[in-house]
């Protein structure tokens, strides 16, 4: 079960939307709240490795010096 990973310079909202709509995620985590928690956890873990995080108000983008 591969969980989607945020792409380089992908906005948080775009990643969460893509992750929530992923077919594998929908099959593995049928409960929407659980799926959202898994997607958010994946975002937060990737964000922790970012060299820069830009807050865009209701959104954010994480930048990485090396992928």
Q: Say whether pLDDT at 67 is over 70.
A: no
Are 43 and 20 in contact, with CB atoms under 8 Å apart? no
Closest CA to 43 of 14, 2, 1: 14
In this predicted model, what pLDDT tens digit does every residue of 16-34 receive, in sequence order? 999 999 999 999 999 999 9
Are 57 and 12 in contact, with CB atoms under 8 Å apart? no
Under 8 Å CB-to-CB from 37, ≥6 apart: which residues? Answer: none
pLDDT band of 8, cuts 50, 70, 90:
confident
Instruction: Summarize the confidence of residues 35-58 as an average pLDDT.
Output: 94
Token couple for 38: 């898994």
Alpha helices in 5-65 (DSSP H): 12-21, 23-28, 32-47
């Amino acid at each position: 079960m591969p969980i989607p990973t945020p792409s380089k310079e992908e906005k948080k909202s775009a990643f969460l939307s893509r992750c929530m709509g992923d077919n594998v995620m929908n099959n593995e985590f049928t409960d929407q709240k659980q799926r959202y928690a898994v997607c958010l956890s994946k975002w937060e873990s990737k964000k922790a490795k970012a060299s820069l995080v830009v807050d865009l108000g209701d959104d954010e983008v994480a930048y990485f010096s090396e992928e």
